Amino acid sequence: MKTNSTATRGGGLPNPVVRRQRQWWIKERDNPQLGTYWVACGQLSKTEARRKEGSLYGMNIMHAFDTEEAYNARLDQLRQSGECVQ
């Protein structure tokens, strides 16, 4: 009997790979010496976003957006209000 290295469902069909839509992320960085600034991070998985949230100095807050349009609108809003966006 041959064994299949991939996981299968009851009918012998391979399990479909479920990929979640990656969200768009903006990092709010609070540095005690430089103040608050924003970093456009683009599309990241939740795991990648959590890694960017950690900081040895200061504080990072990750803000998620479901669509690129909402992400770009928020970046434009931050720039128009005079915030520093990298």
* β-strand pairing of 59-65 with 23-31: antiparallel
Average pLDDT, the chain: 85
| pLDDT score, position 3 | 47
pTM for this structure?
A: 0.73
Distance between CA atoms of 25 and 42, rounded to whole angstroms? Answer: 5
Q: What DSSP character marks residue 67?
A: S
Confidence of residue 56 (pLDDT cuts 50, 70, 90): confident
Structure tokens, 5:
């290295």
| pLDDT score, position 13 | 66
Mean pLDDT of the 52-71 span = 92
